[in-house]
Structure 1
Amino acid sequence: MGQILNWDDLKTVIDKLKANGKKIVFTNGCFDIIHIGHIRYLREAKKLGDILIVGLNSDSSVSKIKPGRPINTERHRAEILSSLEMVDYVTIFNEDTPYELIKHLMPDVLVKGGDWKIEDIVGSDIVTEVYSLPYVEGISTTEIINKIISSEKNL
């Protein structure tokens, strides 16, 4: 089971892991309602290195980019993510983007979903190995929320 750490504690851990030759993979997102697209994506991300770190948007960060969200609190989202077998560490960031977090941690690999072009991935200018993984079409948190709302209207 993964751990939820603050930035500085995580940096200390990463430095030790790197000193022992471990390859650090970083991804980030809201992960508001975990679905199969997230699971497949995180599994693929983990395959790109030894340690997978998830930078999680805080509640205030999510609400700035997705009005009316999040559905689940940052603490709940962090706990769910940290319980996934492929996730080693979770840390929360308050900023609109994870740029400062990426700069602080300096992972070896940076990963986002296929809806992002590599040149548009935040941090691609400071991390040398960057991937845009395949996106699972038709599966998103927004689509799940809309389906629930639609189902409620039909009751």
Structure 2
Amino acid sequence: MADTTVITFGTFDVFHVGHVRVLNRAAEFGDRLLVGVSSDQLNLAKKGRRPVFTQDERMEILTNIKVVDGVFLEESLELKRQYVEEHQADILVMGDDWAGKFDFLNDICKVVYLPRTPSVSTTAIIEHITTIA
């Protein structure tokens, strides 16, 4: 029986408990978890700001997370299909803030949307830090 490969994507900036929880839940869907880390340029285009940590730093952090088996750079949202095919992923796991947006990939993999951890977000953490600094 072949191993099941799970793939997920994100910025994973200012790593926090919500990131840990989504990675742990994603890993439960298969035998191998691969993470596409949004490039600095992609993050700037998506969110209108550069990440606090560089793409290399964020990739290094994720490489050292126990449940993560591999990390690669995501340079475009439009290349999701290519990334899934290239990494031979069986399951795509995303946060439910993306619900429905990747259903078009159901022809090549199972798509699962997980609820986000309530009241934890990188943006909220950054805003909190700037108010106490």
Q: Is the shorter-chain TM-score for this pair beyond 0.5, marking a shared fold?
A: yes
Indicate the residue corresponding to 2:11 in structure 1.
Answer: 30
Q: Distance in 2 between matches of 1:59 and 1:122?
A: 26
Indicate if the aligned counterparts of 1:110 and 1:127 stay in contact, CA closer than 8 A: no
Structure 2: unaligned runs, 5 residues or longer: none
Selected match of 2:94 from 112, 118, 131: 112
* Alignment partner, residue 40 of structure 1: 21
Distance 1:67 1:129 in 2: 30
CA contact (8 A) 1:65 1:96 kept: no
Give SS of 2:73's match. Answer: strand
Report the TM-score, using the length of structure 1 for normalisation.
0.78
Cα distance in 2 for partners of 1:59, 1:116 equals: 20
Q: Hey, what's the Cα distance between the residues in 2 that align with 1:33 and 1:121?
A: 25
Q: Do residues 79 (structure 1) and 60 (structure 2) align?
A: yes
Is there any run of 5+ residues in structure 1 with no aligned partner, and where? 1-19
Q: CA deviation at 1:123?
A: 5.7
**How many angstroms does 1:122 deviate by?**
6.7
Counterparts of 2:4 and 2:113 in 1: how far apart (Å)?
Answer: 18
What displacement does 1:97 show? 4.2
Give the TM-score of the pair, scaled to structure 2: 0.90
How many residue pairs align between the two structures? 132
Q: Would the aligned equivalents of 1:106 and 1:127 in 2 still touch at CA under 8 Å?
A: no
Counterparts of 1:5-154 in structure 2, within 5 Å, are: 21-99=2-80, 100-117=82-99, 119-121=100-102, 124-152=105-133
Q: 1:22 to 1:40 in 2, by over 3 A?
A: same
Deviations 1:15-68 (A, max 9, x none): xxxxx7110000001111111001001000000000000011111111111122
Once superposed, which parts of structure 1, at least 4 consecutive aligned residues long, lie more than 4 Å away? none
Does the 8 Å contact 1:113/1:135 carry over to 2? yes
| Residue-by-residue CA offset, 1:112-147 (whole Å, 9 max, x unaligned) | 012221x21276344331111121111000000000
CA shift for structure 1 position 103: 3.3
Q: Report the aligned-residue RMSD.
A: 1.7
3-state DSSP of counterpart to 2:62: helix
